[in-house]
Amino acid sequence: MKQRLRRLLFEIEQLKRNKVQDFLLSIGLTPGQGQARILISLASSEHVSQRKLADECMLDVTTMSRTLDRLEKQGLIERKRDPGCRRAYQISLTDAGRMKAEEVKEGFARLEDILFEGFDETDMEGLNRELEKIKKNLKAG
Checking if the pLDDT of 82 tops 80, the result is no
Does 55 reside within a domain?
A: yes
Does 28 reside within a domain?
A: no
Does 76 reside within a domain?
A: yes
In this prediction, residue 24 carries a pLDDT of: 96
CA distance 12 to 5: 10
Does 2 reside within a domain?
A: no
Q: Which CATH number characterizes residue 132's domain?
A: 1.10.10.10
**Structural domain that includes position 55:** 34-140
In this prediction, residue 8 carries a pLDDT of: 94
In this prediction, residue 88 carries a pLDDT of: 77
Phi, psi of 45 (to 5 degrees): -135, 150
User: Domain total for the chain?
Assistant: 1
- This prediction has a pTM of 0.84
Does 29 reside within a domain?
A: no
Does 5 reside within a domain?
A: no
In this prediction, residue 62 carries a pLDDT of: 85
Strands 85-93 and 77-82: antiparallel
Number of H helices and E strands in the chain, helices first, is 6, 3
pLDDT in tens, 5-35: 999 999 999 999 999 999 999 999 999 889 9
Does 19 reside within a domain?
A: no
Q: How many angstroms separate the Cα of 48 from the Cα of each of 52, 56, 99, 133?
A: 7, 10, 18, 34
Does 14 reside within a domain?
A: no
Checking if the pLDDT of 81 tops 90, the result is no
